[in-house]
A and B are shown apart, each in its own frame.
Chain A
Amino acid sequence: MNTLKRVHGYIAEFETARDVYHAAEKVRDAGFKDWDVHSPFPIHGLDSAMGLKKSQLSWFVFIGGAIGTVTAFSLQFVTQVLIYPTLVQDKPTNIGTLPAFFPVMFELTVLFSAFTALFGSMILNKLPRWNHPLFASDQFERFSDDAFFLCIEARDPQFSKDETLKMLKDIGGKSIELIEDDI
C-alpha cells in the first residue's frame, strides 16, 4: 500500500556549536529564508549568524504592560473615587490618593506583561501544537542531548533536492537526512 508523504526538509548534524554557528552563517549568506538551528543550549550570537531580526515580542509586552497599568488605575479609581468614595485613614477621596493605587498598578503591569510575553511568544512560535514533522527523524532526538542540527525546509523557494543536499555537505553537515512527513 502506498502512503503519500510530504517532504519537510533536510536536517544535517554538526558536532560542535562552533560548526553549526559557521554553517548558519553560510546558509544565511546563501539567502535561505525558511530554516532553523536546533541546539541543546542557547548559542550566543547565533541570531545574527542566522540573520534574524529583533523579535517583535517587545511591542506586545509593552502594550500588555500599558493595558495592565490602565486597568489597575481604572479599577481602583472608578470604585474608590467615582462610584463609592472610600475614606481611609483621612486620605483624600480624589486623584490625590493616587499613591495608594501604585502597588496594584505596579503588580498588574508586571502580571499583564508577563502574560503577554508568555502567550505572545507562544503565538509567534505557533504553539501549542500536537506534533512536528522533525519528530519523524530518529536521530533528531539528540538535539536536546549532544547534537546540533540545522534544518532547511522544503517550503523555502531556494530548496532543491540535490543542490541543498550538496550545499549541506559542503558546509560540513553530517548524517544528512531528508525528513518526510505523513500527510
Chain B
Amino acid sequence: MSDHGVTLTDLPLEGERVEVSKFSKVIKIAGLIGAVTLAISLAILFLGSGRLRESFSYSWLFACYYFFTIALGGLFWVLLHHVSNSGWGIAVRRVMEHLANMLPFSFIFFIPILILTEPREALYEWMKLLHTNPDDVLLKGKAPYLTMGFFFFRFAAYAISLCGMAWLMRHWSLSQDRTGDVKYTFLARRFSAGFVPVFAVCCTFMAFDLLMGLDYAWFSTMWGVYIFAGSALSSMAMIILTVTFLRSKGSLNKVVSIEHYHIMGKLMFAFTVFWAYISFSQFFLYWYAKITEETKFYILRNTEGWHYVSLLLVFGHFVIPFVFLLRQQAKKDMRQICAACCWVLFVHLIDIYWIIIPERGPSITEGDKLMIPYGILIDALAFIAVGSCMIWIFLRSIGKYSIYPSRDPRLLESTRLVN
C-alpha cells in the first residue's frame, strides 16, 4: 500500500533528536584517527621542508577539495530544494542543511596551504613567477586577476558567501522548528532564488582559482560546471548514505520511506549523466580543436599510468553507474542504492585525484619526473586526516537539532510521498 498512514499526531512538534550516543564509538574512533593524522599532516605542512612538504601540499589540496565539493553539493541541494519550491525532500532537508554547514570547516582546512609561502608556491606556479619572473607574457596578460591581493580577497569572498548562505538556510529552518511560523518557508524560497547565482559564481571561480590555477597557462570555460556536476552527484550520494546510516540507528524511520530513496536515486542518476555530458564536452572540444595550449591538460593525463586512470573515469564514473542505476529496482532497493552511493563517492575521489595529482610530479621536479614515488602514501594520509575530522564534526553536528524540519508546513506531504 502506498499510503503508509502517517498523520500529524505521529510527528511531534519538537521533531526527533538523533541519539548521538548510539554511534559515539564511530565518533570517538574518527576523532582519534583524525587527531593523530591531522597532527602529522600539520607537522609536515608547517615544519617540513623540501620536496616532501611541496608534495604534501598537493595531497592536502586533494583531500580538502574532495570534502569541500561534497559540502558544496549539500548547499546546492538545499538551495535547489527551496528555489524549486519542492515538497518531496522536506523529510531529508535537514541532512542536506547539516552537510552544507560543513562548508566553514572545509574552508578552514584550506588555510595552511594558502597562508604558507612554500606550499602555495609549490601548488600555484604563478605565485612564484610573480617575484621570480614578473615579465612572463602569459602572467602579464592575466595580471589583474592573478595577483596575491585579489586572490586572497576572492578566497575570502567565497568563504563568506558560501558559509553565510549555508548558515542562513539552516538558521531559517531551525527558527521555523521553534516558532512554526510559515514566513520562514517564504523567506528561504525568496532568498534562495537570489542565492543560486551567487552560489554558481562562487562554485565556478573557486574551481578556477584552486584547481585550474594549478597550471596558470591552461584554461577551460567548462571547468566550473564540471566541478559542480561532480560535487552535486557525490553530495547526493553522501546524503543517501547519511540518511541510511541514521535510519539504521533508528532515526528518520517515520518520515523517510523508500519513495525518497527512489527520488534521490533518480537525481543521482541524472547527475551521473550530467557529469558525463559536461566532462565529455570539455574533452571533445579540446580533442577536436587540437590547440597546443588547450590539449596539455589531457596530454598530461594520458601519459603513462595516468592513461588508465582516465579510462577508469570513463567507465567508472559514467558507464557503470549509468547502467546500474538505469533499473527502477536499483533505486528502490536500499542495499543496491547504497552500494551505488559508495561507488559514486569512490569514483568522485578518483576524479578529484586525477584533476590535482598529475600536476604534482612535473611541477615539483620541473618536468623531470611524472610521479613522486611515495606520493600515494601522503595522499592517503591527507585524505584520512581531513576525512576523519570531517566525519567527527559532521556526526556531532547531527545530534544538535531535530533531524527533520519538524514544523515545516509541508512535512506531511513529504512523508506521504508517492512517485
Interface residues of A (CB under 8 A from B): 44-45, 48-49, 54, 58, 62, 89-91, 99-100, 102-103
Contact = CB atoms under 8 A, between A and B. Distances in A.
B365 to A, nearest CB: 30
B1 A48 contact: yes
A62 B326 contact: yes
B3 interface: yes
Contact of B280 (A54, A62, A91, A102): A102
B126 to A, nearest CB: 31
25 contacts: A44-B2, A44-B418, A44-B419, A45-B2, A45-B3, A45-B418, A48-B1, A48-B2, A49-B2, A54-B328, A58-B327, A58-B328, A62-B326, A89-B288, A89-B290, A90-B290, A91-B288, A99-B280, A99-B283, A99-B284, A99-B287, A100-B288, A102-B280, A102-B284, A103-B284
A95 to B, nearest CB: 13
A3 B283 CA distance: 72
A66 to B, nearest CB: 10
B290 to A, nearest CB: 7
Interface in B306-354: 326-328
A179 B105 CA distance: 69
Interface in B364-408: none
Contacts of B419: 44
Contacts of B418: 44-45
Interface of B: 1-3, 280, 283-284, 287-288, 290, 326-328, 418-419
A114 B272 CA distance: 20
Nearest to B289: A89
A62 B290 CA distance: 35
Contacts of B326: 62
A68 B290 CA distance: 29
B231 to A, nearest CB: 24
A142 B3 CA distance: 28
Given A44-B2, A99-B287, A103-B284, 12 more contacts: A44-B419, A45-B3, A45-B418, A54-B328, A58-B327, A58-B328, A62-B326, A90-B290, A91-B288, A99-B283, A100-B288, A102-B280
A45 B418 CA distance: 6
Contacts of A48: 1-2
B323 to A, nearest CB: 10
A54 B287 CA distance: 43
B53 to A, nearest CB: 39
Nearest to A102: B280
A103 B283 CA distance: 13
Contacts of A90: 290
Contacts of A44: 2, 418-419
A46 B418 CA distance: 10
A90 B287 CA distance: 11
Nearest to B323: A62
Contacts of A49: 2
Nearest to B277: A106
A142 B288 CA distance: 58
A49 B3 CA distance: 9
A44 B328 CA distance: 17
A76 B222 CA distance: 28
Contacts of A102: 280, 284
Contacts of B1: 48
Contacts of A45: 2-3, 418
B258 to A, nearest CB: 12
Contacts of A89: 288, 290
Contacts of B2: 44-45, 48-49
Nearest to A62: B326
A62 B328 CA distance: 12
A91 B283 CA distance: 14
B415 to A, nearest CB: 14
A48 B419 CA distance: 11
A10 B271 CA distance: 47
Contacts of B3: 45
A54 B262 CA distance: 14
A111 to B, nearest CB: 16
A44 B327 CA distance: 21
Nearest to A100: B288
Contacts of B280: 99, 102
A89 B295 CA distance: 15
B99 to A, nearest CB: 29
Instruction: Identify the interface centre among A45, A54, A90: most chain B CB within 10 Å of its CB.
Output: A45
B393 to A, nearest CB: 39
Nearest to B417: A44
Contacts of A99: 280, 283-284, 287
Contacts of A103: 284
A99 to B, nearest CB: 6
A38 B287 CA distance: 54
Contacts of B283: 99
A91 B280 CA distance: 17
Nearest to A97: B287
A30 B405 CA distance: 40
A48 B3 CA distance: 10
